Chains A and B, each alone.
Chain A
Amino acid sequence: MNKILLIIKREYFSRVRKKSFLLMTFLVPGLIIGMYALIFFLLAKGDDKQKNIEVLDQSGIFAGKLQNKKNIFFQYANDSYEGAKKELPKSTADFLLYIPKDYPANQNIEIISEKKPGISLIGDIETQMETVLQNKRLVEAGIDTSILNQAKDRVNISAKQLTQEGEKDASIGATFVIGFICAFLIYISLLIYGTQVMRGVIEEKTNRIIEVIISSVKPFQLMLGKIIGIGMVGLTQFLLWIVLSLGLSTIAGNVFLKTDMAKNQIEQVQHTKDKQVKSPDKAQLFAEISKAAGTVDYVYVLGTFLFYFLGGYLIYSALFAAVGSAVDNETETQQFMLPITLPLIFSFIIGMNFIVNNPDSPISFWLSIIPLTSPVAMMIRIPYGVPTWELILSMTLLVGGFLFTTWVASRIYRVGILMYGKKTSYKELAKWLMYKE
């Protein structure tokens, strides 16, 4: 026991003290947050270059009815088609929108420009024209469009879940996001730390220190110590990430709220009618997000997350350790890696595409029960609520699976680590499994 502790300590500290660990721990969340910030920023900013569109409306249907938007300005011309086309390069307009005289009959609307128009620009114009046409038809049919507009409402369904404690807000959005994040973290970390275990085993084998070590400890102790040590590195990293992201998001949240409020005040001073309407909208959205986030039981999610991370990690890292022991260097690992990573990748892809939409289907149930797929699959289902008996069954099988794979792995490991310069086949592995002590 004492020796396993020594091994755990070495495995843990030799990794945590590395510069790459600090780099991973502090840089990765920074990079991810930075990436999302950039995407968010670009989306919010959008394409704000102003586009002038000259409308040559020979049908007379749209004249004066297309509305200027943030970055689209319409101006109307009365030229001939050929003339306007010729004038375009010299005029201030970037685009020429041509609507033929007999429009609804002749569908040949053109947009002419020197450079290609973006899809969103054309989409914008199309929607506007459709609305204009629709209104025109409604008016012709004797329907008052203003009444129609009043009837339009923003629809917001709030999902409620019946539980024993009564009615509960069930926010689908937040559930999805949390399930996704947890499943993704488990998927990625099982791969990362599993490979680290494998690398550690290969390192000891290629360094040839393995024989010195196992003349002091049992191979099983060495394997277990390595797995636990690296698992603790993973937990440390998670803990730091949680602390970091909590800290960062608190800071970011404060800054964001303050600037937002300041902006609102300026906007209100400016009395821009349009924006005033928008601001409460934003506040409402924010409130909805925090309300949704509030519906999730974090202790429950975090607890199950840790359990499934540990269980999954123990299962997969034991298998990775066995692979590491069977080869002489990393390039040889390919043939054994695929069958190990396959269930992981499979459960992740199915999880993202199927379980998310059908958390209670039989496939979702089975995937979240089978030990090799349950860590990822169950994490996606957890935020939707999983019956207790299913959870207990899944967890029990996970522990059983871990004990079984560790047993199998240790039998391969103890033979593999002493085999040098031999290309290993599956048949060979099966033989090692059967070897006596």
Chain B
Amino acid sequence: MLSIRNIVKQYANHRALDHVSIEIEKGCIFGLLGPNGAGKTSLIRIINQITAPDEGEIWLNGEKLNPSHISKIGYLPEERGLYKKMEIGEQMLYLAQLKGMSRAEAIKRSRYWFEKMGMESWWKKKVEDLSKGMQQKVQFVATIVHNPELIILDEPFSGFDPVNVEIITQEILELNRQGATIIFSTHRMESVEQLCDNIALINKSHKILDGRVRDIKNSYRNNTYHIEYNGQSLNLEGSDSIFEVLHQSEQEEGNEITLKLKELKNSNDALAYLLPRVHVMQMTEVVPSIHDIFIQQVTNLN
């Protein structure tokens, strides 16, 4: 749906994006991940046509990005803001109309969302009279009120309280089920790891990794398992051919061992070795988090 091709964005004394290419499929939840200052917001601003790239182009639904696409994109910027002294209802209509909706349609959609989020009584209120949490809801509704096909959320959960995070996550998932494509941009990678189908990692203006979360994780699995067991003083004699012990601790609270399988061995081999010796309580595969993968990738590159 969204095709980012070879984007370069040069500022006066630094390059924010250096030949970045990303493909985002229709209907997926995409995570644009990377530390602060990596170039995420620059890329998002280019997708939103707030700034233009120095090189490269962006295609949306098979068309080169142009002003007619504005109405198809909903954008929640990292820096949140609304007109403090304007009535919320009016404000919602204004923002929806700026996105190209007719007034009648804007009223209908705003009413629908106000009802859905339990904000009906706020229509005539001003933003400055609302609490922070309420403002966040209003901001979210303002982002999606015009039925965008592509929803871009920059640091979506920063500043949101846990209750709102849950509400808004559910709404986002529902919008996604109805066909909207979602882009999450965040430096807190663990916060969206479970939500995203696909991700791209950006560091220092370069894309360093992208793909399906499952595939990425699979490729970074290294046959490491974590096992909790009962039973005293596990003697690891003869285990060398099956696995390598990375970590072992025997304490009152419980005993645990982290091990890495040797090549051509699987978890059953390890279990077969352990079962006669101790009482295995739990066995889990140690899968690296996106954050770990990111760190690993960055150190590899360096």
Chain B 6-21 interface 0/1 with A at a Cβ cutoff of 8 Å (1 = within): 0000001000000000
Q: Which residues of A contact B70 (CB under 8 A)?
A: 215-216
* Interchain CB contact under 8 A, B83 and A207: yes
Interface Cβ pair total, 8 Å cutoff:
60
- Interface membership of B28, Cβ < 8 A: no
What are the residues of chain A within 8 A of B81 when measuring CB–CB? 207-212
Are B50 and A214 in contact (CB-based, < 8 A)? yes
Taking a contact as CB atoms under 8 Å apart, the answer to whether B83 and A215 are in contact is: no
| CB of A434 to closest CB in B, whole Å | 10
Decide: B79 and A208 in contact? CB cutoff 8 A.
yes
CB distance from A290 to the nearest CB of B (A): 47
A14 CA / B83 CA spacing, docked (Å): 11
Interface string of A191-226 (1 = CB under 8 A from B): 000000000000110011111111111000000000
A236–B119 alpha-carbon span in the complex (Å): 36
Give the nearest-CB partner of B75 in chain A: A215
Asked whether B97 lies within 8 Å of A212 as measured between CB atoms, the reply is no
Q: Is A133 an interface residue (CB 8 A)?
A: no
* Least CB distance, B209 to chain A, in whole angstroms: 28
Which residues of chain A are near B86, meaning CB under 8 Å? 10, 14
The residues of B that contact A7 with a CB separation of less than 8 Å are: 98
Does B196 have its Cβ within 8 Å of any Cβ on chain A?
no
Nearest A-chain residue to B87, judged by Cβ: A14
In the complex, what residues of A have CB within 8 A of residue B95's CB? 212-213, 216
Closest to A9 in B: B94
Interface of A is mostly: helix
| Chain A residue nearest to B80 in the complex (CB) | A208
Q: Is B84 an interface residue (CB 8 A)?
A: yes
Docked pose: A212 CA to B82 CA in angstroms: 9
Residue of A nearest to B103 (CB): A6
Q: Are B12 and A431 in contact (CB under 8 A)?
A: yes
User: A86 interface residue, CB < 8 Å from B?
Assistant: no
* B54–A6 touching, CB < 8 Å: no
Chain A, Cβ-Cβ closest to B47: A215
Restricting to B99-155, which residues have a CB under 8 Å from any CB of A? Answer: 99, 142-143
Q: Are A6 and B94 in contact (CB under 8 A)?
A: yes
Instruction: Report the interface size class on chain A.
Output: 20 to 34
Q: Is the CB of A207 within 8 A of B84?
A: yes
B49 interfacial by beta-carbon distance below 8 Å: yes
B48 touches A209 (CB 8 A): no
Bound together, the chains give a CA A209 to CA B48 distance in angstroms of: 15
Asked whether A152 is an interface residue with its Cβ less than 8 Å from the other chain, the reply is: no
B77, A211: Cβ atoms closer than 8 Å: yes
Tell me, yes or no, whether A437 is within 8 Å of chain B by CB.
yes
Give the residues in chain B near A208, CB-CB below 8 Å. Answer: 77, 79-81
Which B residues are CB-close (under 8 A) to A204? 83
Residue in B closest to A13 when the chains form the complex, CB atoms: B90
Q: Is the CB of A420 within 8 A of B98?
A: no
- In the bound assembly, the distance between CA atoms of A431 and B13 in angstroms comes to 12
Min CB distance A295 to B, Å, is 48
Q: How far is the CA of A213 from the CA of B99 in the complex (A)?
A: 9
Interface centre among A3, A203, A216, A420 (most CB of B within 10 A): A216
Q: How far is the CA of A128 from the CA of B98 in the complex (A)?
A: 78
Chain B 36-80 interface mask (CB, 8 Å, partner A; 1/0)? 000000000100111110100000000000000010010101011
Indicate if the CB atoms of B99 and A211 lie closer than 8 Å. Answer: no
CA distance A203 to B86 in the complex (A): 12
Docked Cα-Cα span, A210 to B84, in Å, equals 13
Query: In angstroms, how far is the closest chain A Cβ from the Cβ of B60?
Result: 14
**Quick one: closest A residue to B84, CB to CB?**
A207
Question: Nearest Cβ distance between residue A329 and chain B, in whole angstroms?
Answer: 14
| Bound Cα distance from A284 to B45, whole angstroms | 72
Residue of A nearest to B44 (CB): A215
Binding site for B on A (CB under 8 A): 3, 6-7, 10, 14, 203-204, 207-217, 418, 420, 431, 436-437
B contact set with A: CB distance below 8 Å: 12, 45, 48-52, 54, 70, 73, 75, 77, 79-86, 94-95, 97-99, 142-143
Give 12 A-B contacts (CB < 8 Å), ordered by A residue: A3-B98, A6-B94, A10-B86, A209-B83, A212-B143, A213-B98, A215-B48, A215-B49, A418-B51, A436-B52, A436-B54, A437-B52
- Beyond A208-B79, A418-B50: 20 further Cβ-contacts under 8 Å? A6-B94, A14-B83, A14-B85, A14-B86, A203-B83, A208-B77, A209-B81, A210-B81, A211-B50, A211-B79, A211-B81, A212-B81, A212-B95, A213-B98, A215-B48, A216-B95, A216-B98, A216-B99, A420-B79, A437-B51
